[in-house]
Amino acid sequence: MISGVCRPERLPRGVGVAFRVLGGHFGDYRGWSAIEARARQIARELDARPVADGM
């Protein structure tokens, strides 16, 4: 799973407060190594596809 970014300014004030009260943490939780590994996998899969004639 690849998480994302959670910023307080992107949420309505009440939602942001509830998020913190429930134990949420704002920040950047993207796993760059997982993102890069998935990008490399996609590139390999695209590279392995046969090229259609006439394209």
pLDDT tens digits along 19-28: 899 998 899 8
Quote the pTM value.
0.53
Number of Cβ atoms within 10 Å of the Cβ of 53: 5
Please report whether residue 11 resides in a domain.
yes
Residue 43 lies in a domain: yes
The verdict on residue 54 lying in a domain is: no
- What percent of the chain has a predicted confidence (pLDDT) above 90? 40
Task: Establish if 28 belongs to a structural domain.
Answer: yes
Asked whether residue 55 is domain-assigned, the answer is no
Reduced 3-state DSSP string for 7-50:
CHHHCCHHHHHHHHHCCCCCEECCCHHHHHHHHHHHHHHHHHCC
Q: Is 32 a member of any domain? A: yes
Bridge partner residues of 28 (DSSP): 5
When divided into structural domains, the chain yields a total of 1
Question: Range of 38's domain?
Answer: 5-48
Pseudo-torsion of CA 14, 16, 22, 24, nearest 10°?
180
Asked if residue 41 belongs to a domain, the reply is: yes
What would the two tokens of residue 35 be? 């993102």
